[in-house]
């Protein structure tokens, strides 16, 4: 069964450093998403991406965040200058088309900012 692959599974970074979280969505999917889950809390939407541009973003997704799909297969989330409160599990997801219920999550990247 196709899956969404995220790397790394765990990343530790120093406050103020830039991090890039990587995702390989399912190849024929068209819609891509990043979600965040602070430990013990609910999953929150960050951003959606379609047709090589951001289609929607939440209030969390401020100027410190950016997304890219550089080569048609990878989908990346960059945090420019990490803060302690960025420590969370970050999930990538992809879906095939509007209206289809298929919505596949990656296994997540646990980011720890120290």
For another protein, the closer of residues 76 and 104 by Cβ is 104
For another protein, the closer of residues 16 and 30 by Cβ is 30
Q: Which stretch binds another protein (CB under 8 A): 18-26, 67-75, 77-85, 101-109?
A: 101-109
Distances, alpha carbon 25 to alpha carbons 16, 30, 91, 99, 100, in Å = 28, 9, 11, 18, 16
Q: Are 75 and 54 in contact (CB under 8 A)?
A: no
Binding mask 25-64 for another protein (x = CB under 8 A): ------x-x-x-----xxxxx--x-x----xx--------
Beta bridge partners of 47: 34, 57
CB of 91 to another protein, least distance (A): 6
HSE (CB half, 13 Å, CA atoms) of 14?
1
Q: Identify the helix (H) or strand (E) that includes residue 31.
A: strand 31-37
For another protein, the closer of residues 66 and 104 by Cβ is 104
Q: Are 81 and 16 in contact (CB under 8 A)?
A: yes
Residues near another protein, by CB under 8 A: 31, 33, 35, 41-45, 48, 50, 55-56, 89, 91, 93, 95, 98-99, 101, 103-108, 110
């Amino acid at each position: 069964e196709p899956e969404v692959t995220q790397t790394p599974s765990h990343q530790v970074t120093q406050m103020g450093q830039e991090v890039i979280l990587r995702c390989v969505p399912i190849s024929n999917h068209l819609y891509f998403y990043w979600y965040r889950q602070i430990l013990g809390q609910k999953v929150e939407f960050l951003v959606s991406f379609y047709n090589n541009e951001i289609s929607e973003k939440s209030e969390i997704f401020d100027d410190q965040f950016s997304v890219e799909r550089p080569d048609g297969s990878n989908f990346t989330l960059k945090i420019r200058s990490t803060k302690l409160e960025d420590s969370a599990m970050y999930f990538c997801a992809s879906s095939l088309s509007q209206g289809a219920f298929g919505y596949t999550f990656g296994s997540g990247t646990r980011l720890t900012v120290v």
